[in-house]
Amino acid sequence: MSTISLRLPESLHKQVRKLAEMESVSINQLVTLALAEKISALLTEEYLETRAKRGSRKKFERAMAKVPKVEPEEYDRLSR
């Protein structure tokens, strides 16, 4: 495991301390989890961008043509 020294504005440090208390975890654990979530989100965005570049409008329309043209169930309808 690595150790880093991190400088935080006092206001952010207070919020992190309060949240860590509320979650019953250490500040270290809270920051580690927050960093892991951010990294995951960024990597997911990168992955989706890469996949989107491989997309084909023609293939999409062909797949959509196979979807039955039926009204959605009542619970699946958008309210107007």
Whole-angstrom distance, CA of residue 58 vs CA of residue 51? 15
Q: What is the pLDDT of residues 2-43, one digit of tens each?
A: 999 999 999 999 999 999 999 999 999 999 999 999 999 999
Nearest CA to 35 among 71, 2, 76, 69?
Answer: 2
Q: Flag whether the pTM goes above 0.85.
A: no
Q: What are the domain boundaries of the chain? A: 11-67
Long-range contact list for 67-73, CB < 8 A, 24+ apart?
Answer: none
Mean pLDDT for the stretch of residues 56-78: 93
